[in-house]
């Protein structure tokens, strides 16, 4: 699987603290290798999932070959 970031998500990624960047990289690597992680579908959306990493949430769109990281924000703001 290939992982891509939207422009907005990449900017949010660059602003993350270093510890959360390491966690995010580890989670995306596990997702790419089909290892089970804490991932749930977003209600009312198709092929859209959220991944929980501490106080941050990552919104992704998952297709057969591509994972698109759409948003990386704190848990209170990510669903707005």
Predicted confidence (pLDDT) per residue in 36-67, tens digit: 888 899 888 889 999 998 888 999 998 888 99
CATH fold of the domain at 2-74 = YaeB-like fold (3.30.2310)
pLDDT at position 77 is 64
- The structure's pTM equals 0.84
Cα distance between residue 42 and residue 40, in whole Å: 7
Q: Would the pLDDT of 78 be above 70?
A: no
Cα distance between residue 64 and residue 68, in whole Å: 11
Burial class (CB in 10 A: 0-12, 13-18, 19+), 69: buried
């Amino acid at each position: 699987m290939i992982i891509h970031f939207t422009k907005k998500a990449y900017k949010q990624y660059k602003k993350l603290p270093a510890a959360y960047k390491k966690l995010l990289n580890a989670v995306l690597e596990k997702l790419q290798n089909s290892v089970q992680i804490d991932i749930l579908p977003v209600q009312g959306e198709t092929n859209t999932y959220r991944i929980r990493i501490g106080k941050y949430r990552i919104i992704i769109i998952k297709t057969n070959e591509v994972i698109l990281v759409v948003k990386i924000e704190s848990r209170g703001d990510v669903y707005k």
